[in-house]
Amino acid sequence: MPADDAFEAESVYAATFLVEVDGLEIGRFTEVSGLSVEVGVDTYEEGGENGYVHKFPGRMEWPNLTLKRGVTRSDALLSWLASVSGDGFSGAGNKLKRSTAAVTLVSQTGTRLRAWELEGAFPVRWKGPEFALSASDMAYEELEIAHHGFVARKP
């Protein structure tokens, strides 16, 4: 294993993620989904070549990212959503302010192990906890983020 690989000295459990937007921490999350990319395939059928079809890389597709955590007192998620929608959007002259967001995997000892930097990010959905008198589950909130893609970085 390479000497600069921080995973070697840490117990890595995909359990805690730090999320920052434009360099400011908006929270720690217990679930992050949608961190993936898919490359489409374009095909070209060459005349006279019946043994195969040429394949070339096509468009990259980046699904929205969904973050989930227990409800906290912080209103950072809703504030960010409000700043790019409704009155926040119209107050900005109907111009979308895209952000750079970073999702960082944090070890149990607090070491930043791996980060993914999202380009052109903005929130598109917030979901609060579901209330039921008989519920015994933790109250969770979710934030969904649209983006133009990500780059993996060493923190």
Condensed to tens digits (0 to 9), the pLDDT of residues 114-149 reads 999 999 999 999 998 888 888 777 888 999 999 999
Q: Look up residue 32 and give its DSSP letter.
A: E
For the chain, the structural domain boundaries read 6-153
Instruction: Write down the CATH number for the domain with range 6-153.
Output: 2.30.110
Provide the phi-psi class of 88: left if phi over 0, else alpha when psi is between -120 and 50, else beta: alpha
- Hey, which residues does 44 pair with through a beta bridge? 54
User: Which of the pair, 96 or 11, is modelled with greater confidence?
Assistant: 96
31/89 Cα distance (integer angstroms): 28
- Nearest-angstrom CA–CA distance, 17 and 69: 10
Pick from 11-15, 137-141, 151-155: least confident: 11-15
Instruction: Report pTM.
Output: 0.80
Q: What b/e sequence results for 52-91 when a residue is b if at least 16 CB atoms lie within 10 Å of its CB, and e otherwise? A: eeeeeeeeeebeebbbbbeeeeeeebeebbebbeeeebee
